[in-house]
A and B are shown apart, each in its own frame.
Chain A
Amino acid sequence: MDRTFAGKYIKDLVEKAIKFGFEDAEACFMSSSSMEINVLNGEVSSYENSTMQGVGFRGKKNGQMGGSFTSDLNDNAVDFILRNAMENCEVLDDEDEEFIYCDPENSHLESIQLSGSYDKNTYDKFSMVGLKLEKDILALSDDIKAVDYLSISCGTGPSISVNSKGLYTYKDSDYITIMAEARAEKDGVVKTGGYYWFGKDIDDFDEKKFLNTLKKRVLGKLGASSVASGEYKIIFDSEAFVSLFDTFISNFSSYTMQKGLSLLAGKEGQTIASDLFTIREEPMYENALIKFPFDSEGVLTKSKALIDKGVFVKAFYNLKTAHKAGTESTGNGFKGAFSAPVGISATNLIVEPGDKDFDQLCAWVQDGLYITDLNGLHAGVNKISGDFSLFCEGYLIKDGKIARPVEQITVADNFYEVLKKIIATGSDTISVPEGKGEYFCPSVVISKMNISGDVKEREE
């Protein structure tokens, strides 16, 4: 379905919805096209090329917002959508009101972030880059036995939304992702490690830089052993810290707070973290791959601090939660798919860096652990209380330097306590894709955390 036809289809749907008896209505059309190759054992083992499209609808009646969706855009689709959305309205008894919105001064919103380089994303180009990358990974060391996963993918797709208040939004963007996981074996011990790259132009892929990092991530783990249980000073690498922070990001959502499922409820304006910690949301951050000028409700996004020098400034709000709290939406009302309701999501988050590079942080820490991998984040955490106990890997820091790799340990603590125990952030900021956007985050140092390992005596 092309842009003009899709726009007309959902405009007609909204008009029919009003005639059907909805007081307000909104429809969105989302389409995505993607292409992916996988490389295995010197050949392109699989190739995918696909399109997906569907229509999502929400309509309001008697203060309740009912939704429905379909990806089967046949002659009966409009009838199915309207009938089901109305039935859903009739069973809802939500105390909190959801809104269909249009700012008259911003009723036509467009965000087109398509790169001119997208046409380079051909099967032949991806195959050439992928096959060379696999060969070069295997050539890094005799200890690397296989590249178990190597994929190159790209995607793009327009999203159009129209509502009965007069809003029209259109957005489209594109991306390329390269991911690889290698397997190393030495003295009968197997270790795996992966790395990724993402961007808009395949010609910007720096294979040498990619190989250097992947090599460290795989071969660096060989020879690992556990440590004794106890409290350790911890340096989290950027990705590990982001994975931990993002696991608890929903606690910064006003929705979670209003439902009594976040311990941050009522703490806006209060100190919740070390004064050395600042994290900002910058939807239009210049270094971000994807920028977010407006959200799925048609509200303009804005730059804002989430935590400023330890103080929790303001939660993320959409129109519904903002109305309940008597405040304004922060432009964080996003829906993830045409079939999904409007939720609350963060876009690009920037952790304020410190002035020490990674080596200086190690020297400053002297003795502790450098954690690079956190596993089990979907299971080993209590999202409400903040308690977590996670399987992790990393390195022992001795006398201010990385001493040896560490495995078979867990780190257990509480998220809110960890925020208070931040004693430094590094100057080594990297971009980590997570959620809707990216985090820009350096290494983060925690004064002490509980580690479990199966070695009896602690190394001095």
Chain B
Amino acid sequence: MLSEVTVSRIIEAAMSGQADFAEVFEEEKKVSSVGLLNKRTIRAASGINYGVGIRLMAGTNVVYVYTCDKSEDALIKLAKEAASAVKGGKTSDIKEVEALSKSTPSILVTDPLSVSKKVNIDFLKEASEFALNYDELITQVASSYATSNRVIHITNSEGINKEESQTRIRFSIETVATKGTEKQTGRIAPGTMRGYEFVEEYPMIDKTRECCETAIRMVNAGYAPSGKMPVIIGNGFGGVIFHEACGHALEATAVGIKASCFTDKLGKQIASSIVTARDDARIEGEWGSYMTDDTGRKSSNLLLIENGICKNCLVDDLGARRMGCEPTGCGRRQDFTYAPTSRMSNTYIDKGEDDPKDIIADTEYGIYCTKMGGGSVDTATGEFNFAAEEAFMVRNGKIAEPVRGATLIGKGQEILMNIDRVGNDLKLAAGMCGSISGGVPVTVGQPTIRVSSILVGGREA
């Protein structure tokens, strides 16, 4: 990594113009991955991504430059160019750099990068073998394993000097069931910041069986109905609905420029009174965690909604300048090629009081989405869409036939108010979130919930 002297010189160069803040973000990320199709290893990759980003602010004016060239001369030249582009700030003094402090959200017994690719491949081959022998309808199994270690070092003109090491593992199994010309898939993709022991403890065969069963159920399923109806959303990745429909609209990226459907809603009711939600970046070993954010600030366990009342927004340092409040330690970026912005970490609706079985038993007619796919939202209008990967009809309080092709659409503000049951079975699930500062690992989560009415877009009347 860069020496302290070099970093100080870069900051001095960056502050030589009208900037009131300068930051040096240095990143090195080692990656290793394999991919299998059926039982053959068709992809194996290794690499290092290294780069330095220099960010300057003058009020709410931001200049961001980056490079892979780590020579001091090149970095100082770049910092000076950036300094000349900053307009209109009040000059600030450069504070003395603190002693370096290191952090990690990873809990490692066995460093995954020390485990050979062959071991990873054997693990995936065992699951592939099981799936291909599970049922004649299962025709393909695609699987992958990836691990990375990302070390970031953030130093800024306010004296911050932090280093964080983030080690992650993610693997996936996707099974394809074929019936005539019809093909449907079942998928699992767990992610963790624990060591290789997570993989060794993972109930891979049981989870692969679930994948196969989902694919087989969906290939035999009829199309989902269309129209407005009560929707029960299963726990775990079902939390993507909250992530998309509410979380993004509470980010300073949207709220800070008043481009959110939740602008000026702090202290006001934005969800049903049975909804409490958090963004907790400090869960050690969880996929979306970090102890220090990508701007060098301590992360937080942030209460977003308490009993339906909006309590906090996700605010990065630029958002704090726009909104006149303190940052919450949520500045994140995919890598050094992006300037940081307000992002979520492990975001979930907290557990409620209902037994999930009672939620189903109390639903006369509706749809039960047990596995959600991805979705997207327009944070200004609140309009969202989500796809269900696995769903069932609910009739007279009982789970009935499986259905496929269900998409849920609506407006986030309305859906949050229409949550009428919250289960006690909170579960978290790994995902990736894309936004203006790139793709970052996030966890979504919720217990089983019911929304009294959502428009389901299916193919049957």
Residues of A within 8 A of B (CB): 40-41, 43-54, 66-74, 80, 84-85, 87-89, 91-96, 123, 146, 148, 183, 190-192, 229-230, 259-261, 263, 339, 341, 375-376, 378-382, 384-385, 387-391, 407-413, 450, 452-454
Interface centre among B50, B139, B184 (most CB of A within 10 A): B50
14 A/B residue pairs, CB under 8 Å, sorted by A: A45-B62, A48-B63, A85-B46, A87-B46, A88-B45, A92-B43, A148-B380, A191-B381, A378-B374, A384-B185, A387-B405, A391-B407, A410-B226, A413-B459
Contact B383 A391, beta carbon cutoff 8 Å: yes
Say whether A379 contacts B386, CB under 8 Å.
yes
CA distance A89 to B70 in the complex (A): 31
State how many angstroms separate the Cβ of B19 from the closest Cβ of chain A: 12
Query: Which residues on the A side are within 8 Å of B199 (C-beta)?
Result: none
- B365-409 vs A, CB cutoff 8 Å, 1 = contact: the mask equals 000000001111010110111110000000000000000111101
A212 to chain B, nearest CB (A): 22
* Docked complex Cα distance between A380 and B240 (Å): 14
With contacts A376-B385, A452-B455 taken as known, whether A389 is within 8 angstroms of B176 at the C-beta atoms is: no
CB within 8 Å for A45 and B380 given contacts A87-B117, A341-B43, A412-B226: no
Q: Is the CB of B85 within 8 A of A229?
A: no
Does A70 contact B385, Cβ atoms closer than 8 Å? no
Q: A43-B61, A71-B50, A408-B410 given as contacts; is B140 within 8 A of A192 (CB)?
A: no
A385 and B82 within 8 A (CB): no
Known: A51-B69, A390-B407. A450 touches B228 (CB 8 A): no
CB contact under 8 A between A73 and B387, given known A92-B44, A146-B259: no
Check A454–B139 contact: CB distance below 8 A.
no
A68 with B140: in contact, given A52-B68, A261-B176 (CB under 8 Å)? no
A146 touches B257 (CB 8 A): yes
Cα distance A93–B42 in the bound complex, in angstroms: 7
Query: Which of B33-41, B200-208, B440-448 touches A?
Result: B33-41
With a cutoff of 8 Å between Cβ atoms, the chain A residues found around residue B127 in the complex are none
Interface centre among B82, B224, B458 (most CB of A within 10 A): B458
- Bound state CA distance, A87 and B119, in angstroms? 13
User: Taking the complex as formed, is B334 at the interface, i.e. its CB lies under 8 A from any CB of chain A?
Assistant: no
Residues of A within 8 Å of B190, CB to CB, are none
Say yes or no: A52-B387 contact (C-beta < 8 A), given A40-B257, A91-B34, A410-B226: no
Min CB–CB distance A412 → chain B (angstroms):
4
Chain A contacts for B375, CB-based, 8 A: 376, 379
Cβ of B51 within 8 Å of any chain A Cβ, yes or no, is yes
**Which residues of chain A come closer than 8 Å to B196, judged between CB atoms?**
none
Instruction: Chain B residues near A390: list those with CB within 8 A.
Output: 385, 407, 457
| New A-B contacts (12) at CB < 8 Å, excluding given A48-B63, A49-B85 | A47-B85, A48-B339, A54-B68, A92-B43, A148-B380, A379-B387, A382-B183, A385-B184, A391-B384, A410-B409, A410-B455, A411-B457
CA distance A88 to B34 in the complex (A): 9
